[in-house]
Structure 1
Amino acid sequence: MSHNVSFADYRTALTTPGARGPMIAAVFARLPIAMVGFALLFYVQRTTGSYATAGLVSAGALVGAAIGSVLQGRVMDRLGPSRPLLVTSSAFVVFVTIAVISVESGASTPALVAFAFLVGKTQPTVGSASRTLWSRLLPAGRTRQAAYNYDAISIEVFFILGPGLAGLLAALPWAGTGVLISAATQAVGAVAFALTKTVRAQRPMAVQSGSRLLGPLVSPGMWTVILAVMGFGVVIGFVEVAVPAAATAAGQQAMGGLMLSVWSISSVIFGVIYGMRPWPRPLHLRLPVLLGVFAILVTFSAIPTTLFWLGATLLIAGAMITPQSTSHSTALEQVAPPSTMTEAFGWVITAVTLGLALGQSVSGYLVEHVSVSSAFVAAAVAGVIFAGLVFVFRGTIAAGVPGRKADHALAS
């Protein structure tokens, strides 16, 4: 169910006993979530001189994260989050070190992609554990919805600020600085989160009948949410490569990452306002409408004028980012079995990272062999197609979890 929330609901959620320690640790664990892939992209591009190679390496890390988030989510649903996060954080540090050594030694593109995949696969998925934690700390209702909104808003801010920070760090004398700083921050934050008293006390929920093998995918609505999230990721993936390429073509390479951070301004402001009065009200209509509008707004970035114009169009399109993310998170309450919530959010991360990987890899080819504008146009076309597919299957979201009564008031 979707709830209108107020600023008081946000305050209540964030000051809930037991929430402060995990919440602060999660900030450090999730801030670099987009920085790692982008730092790799900038690092490899500056080292090899090729956007195509850099796009493949970044995509490799994203695909690894897509697979790892689901596997980690399922393990955390079964064992609790602490031990899995400690293990993956340790492995993550090892594979980041290997990846940096490989770039410095001039390893082949396939080798770089393989090591990037392992880096992504072992990225600790604190986001999944954090979202599940809110459902344990807060009762269903406006306060929990406010916590979900905060979670979605914060992770989108991190996804948007990450490229800007990665771009700034890549401009330092050694381009690999961003990779090491982002990886170290994420590992330290994940370990701190795992060791908090609230997280260590978390125990697995009883697994519902029929959900052990397929997990949340037992619900048809879950597949539709995944489709919506993947389309969201595809559009962003196209843009995240096209914008730095546009900045480079304009002779201001260092502006690439900062231009992407422009999205965060409208995303956060409009995201908070949107949470107070979400529209369209029915989730089964909200997901395709928001994605379609987002794709159409991105089209304006294809107009080849100035970086100022590009920044203005990104500012407008960015207003659609957080509303989509909060809607995806809200939809999980309606379509995923409660005992699979960590894995369900893992599938959301998987879908968005696969979308990012697809968008970035194709966008890298287009900006290098066609034009920067073609990447923006392709992003818009892909987004509209995904939105159309989500609209076709919208009934599965309205139906909710099989065997559990759907929220007919919301779906009407």
Structure 2
Amino acid sequence: MLLIVLMTVAQLPVALRQLLVVLLGHQNTGSFATAGVASAGCGIGLAVTAPLVGRLLGRLGARPVLLATGLAHLLALLGLAFTTEPVAFVALATVAGLSTPPAVGSGRAQLARLVAPAALARAYAVNAVGQEVLYVGGPLAVTLSLLISGPTAALLAFAVIGSAGLLGMVAVLPPREADRQPRGKGSALPGQATRRTVVGTHIGYMMGIGAMWVLVPAFATTVGHPDQAGLLVTIWSVGSLAGGVLLASRGRPGSPATAYLTMLGTLAATSVALLLPRNVPQMAVALAVFGLALAPFLAVTDEILARSTPAVRLPETYGWLQTAGQLGIAAGSATSGVVNDHLGNTWAFLVVVGALGLALVVALSRRRTLRLPSAAPQAETVGSAVPAGGSGFGRDDAG
């Protein structure tokens, strides 16, 4: 629990970075164009380095990588706060993206080592809840800080808080394990087919999420209430938060593969309802229902990767998942914006339906790769399994 709290705090400046970069970029340079390019630089930088940093985690251990990237990221954010020249601002924003500390990837990998297999699903559900709290409360904290001090002080405050959380993570991490990352090209690693399925599916899933970030504000504007866009996004996140809390308290339904396909199918089915609303209250209901399966799907995704990936490769795998997510978000945002402008907001939600439907088709066509063996590669590093018949889902994970 302490690790989950600290990794959530460490993620704070990363989660709010692109919003703050846009606000700060406009304030410092006077140009939304510069602010937009700088925000894109953050995302591209993260997509490029996430797998590489993840590999370094496996080879060097978490502490040196977290400390080095944390220092570089903090310096880049400090530079952003006081830079007014457009080219320099974009360059520093890109450096901030490139040096993003792998707090979440490292923390997820550590959970797979610290938590017994039978409790892993709940651990990842609690982590998903923490991330949702961050994305629900973060924008509100930014709004409050802007009213008090402005974007410069807000960026500095969140950078310092995030750095404190990162140092806390470094302090509580267990000693580095003695195993080493496998080298050698072409050797088949356990669970490779599973990882390909999950990462490929994740691109479609995140394409739908990227489209939502464009289409929800567009819907609010279309129905004449642009000021309600933030409320709708918050309701969507609260729905996801509720689903994560339910999974953490009740447990995963069935095997990891069954839960994965069920959650993804639920997302695809409930996304169809997004085509129906004609006013803000109706959309609020549709978003709350659509959000229910979001956090549970991500939690089961994390569990499947943790149970199918050798321990030293797990941080790199989470890095590839982040890269896939950034690609999906970019594709979804760009596609939905074009469709919204040419066909209208209602039809544009078909981008969400289509992306999630495609993700479901990929997952179903490769569903055999999602079935985990009774002795997953992580079994030697995550601890003893709970005996069959134990609490939670002990019977399901007794292997």
Q: TM-score, normalised on structure 2? A: 0.79
Runs (5+) with no aligned partner, structure 2: 380-395
8 Å contact kept, 2:306–2:378: no
| 1:254 to 1:387, Cα distance in 2 relative to 1, 3 A | same
Q: Find the aligned partners of 1:373 and 1:392 in 2 and give their Cα distance.
A: 29
1:265 maps onto 2:238 in alignment:
yes
8 Å contact kept, 1:291–1:387: yes
1:229 maps onto 2:202 in alignment:
yes
1:185 maps onto 2:185 in alignment:
no
Which residue of structure 2 aligns with residue 155 of structure 1?
131
8 Å contact kept, 2:53–2:102: yes
Which residue of structure 2 aligns with residue 356 of structure 1?
329
Which residue of structure 2 aligns with residue 278 of structure 1?
252
Q: Find the aligned partners of 2:184 and 2:191 in 1 and give their Cα distance.
A: 6
Which secondary structure state, in structure 2, belongs to the residue aligned with residue 305 of structure 1?
coil
Which residue of structure 1 aligns with residue 106 of structure 2?
129
1:389 maps onto 2:370 in alignment:
no
Q: Find the aligned partners of 1:360 and 1:188 in 2 and give their Cα distance.
A: 33
Q: What is the identity, as a one-letter code, of the residue corresponding to 2:216?
A: V
Q: What is the identity, as a one-letter code, of the residue corresponding to 1:26?
A: M
Q: Find the aligned partners of 2:188 and 2:159 in 1 and give their Cα distance.
A: 30
- Deviation readout 1:379-407 (Å, 9 max, x if unpaired): 1211111211121112122255999699x
Q: Find the aligned partners of 2:347 and 2:146 in 1 and give their Cα distance.
A: 26
1:34 maps onto 2:15 in alignment:
yes
The CA RMSD measured in Å over matched residues stands at: 3.7
Q: How far did residue 305 of structure 1 move?
A: 2.0
| 1:259 to 1:212, Cα distance in 2 relative to 1, 3 A | farther
Q: How far did residue 207 of structure 1 move?
A: 2.9
Which residue of structure 2 aligns with residue 7 of structure 1?
none
8 Å contact kept, 2:70–2:100: yes
Question: Which of 38, 44, 61 is the aligned partner of 1:80?
Answer: 61
Q: What is the identity, as a one-letter code, of the residue corresponding to 2:103?
A: V
Question: Which of 290, 294, 299 is the aligned partner of 2:267?
Answer: 294
1:398 maps onto 2:379 in alignment:
no
Q: How far did residue 331 of structure 1 move?
A: 0.3
Q: How far did residue 273 of structure 1 move?
A: 2.2
Q: Find the aligned partners of 1:378 and 1:43 in 2 and give their Cα distance.
A: 31
Q: How far did residue 126 of structure 1 move?
A: 0.9
Q: TM-score, normalised on structure 1? A: 0.77
Q: What is the identity, as a one-letter code, of the residue corresponding to 1:356?
A: I
Alignment of 1:282-361 (within 5 A): 282-303=255-276, 305-361=278-334
8 Å contact kept, 2:340–2:347: yes
Bigger shift: residues 210-219 or 312-321: 210-219
Question: Which of 53, 65, 71 is the aligned partner of 1:90?
Answer: 71
Q: What is the identity, as a one-letter code, of the residue corresponding to 1:157?
A: V
8 Å contact kept, 1:28–1:186: yes
Question: Which of 42, 45, 48 is the aligned partner of 1:61?
Answer: 42
Bigger shift: residues 118-127 or 393-402: 393-402
Question: Which of 123, 126, 141 is the aligned partner of 2:118?
Answer: 141
Bigger shift: residues 56-65 or 233-242: 56-65
Bigger shift: residues 383-392 or 266-275: 266-275
Q: How far did residue 306 of structure 1 move?
A: 2.0
Which secondary structure state, in structure 1, belongs to the residue aligned with residue 360 of structure 2?
helix
Which residue of structure 2 aligns with residue 8 of structure 1?
none
Q: Find the aligned partners of 1:405 and 1:183 in 2 and give their Cα distance.
A: 34
Which residue of structure 1 aligns with residue 388 of structure 2?
none
Aligned pairs, number: 379
Q: How far did residue 99 of structure 1 move?
A: 4.7
Q: Find the aligned partners of 1:363 and 1:41 in 2 and give their Cα distance.
A: 21
Q: What is the identity, as a one-letter code, of the residue corresponding to 1:137?
A: L
Which secondary structure state, in structure 1, belongs to the residue aligned with residue 117 of structure 2?
coil
Q: Find the aligned partners of 1:45 and 1:393 in 2 and give their Cα distance.
A: 46
- Deviation readout 1:70-127 (Å, 9 max, x if unpaired): 222211222221121111112112333455566x5455xxx87665443222121211
Which secondary structure state, in structure 1, belongs to the residue aligned with residue 267 of structure 2?
helix
| 1:96 to 1:353, Cα distance in 2 relative to 1, 3 A | same
Bigger shift: residues 266-275 or 40-49: 40-49
1:119 maps onto 2:100 in alignment:
no
8 Å contact kept, 1:25–1:190: yes
Q: Find the aligned partners of 2:293 and 2:265 in 1 and give their Cα distance.
A: 10
Q: How far did residue 291 of structure 1 move?
A: 2.2
Q: How far did residue 282 of structure 1 move?
A: 3.6
| 1:339 to 1:106, Cα distance in 2 relative to 1, 3 A | closer
Bigger shift: residues 326-335 or 349-358: 349-358
| 1:34 to 1:249, Cα distance in 2 relative to 1, 3 A | farther
8 Å contact kept, 1:216–1:222: no
- Deviation readout 1:262-313 (Å, 9 max, x if unpaired): 123222222232342433x243343344223213323333445222222221
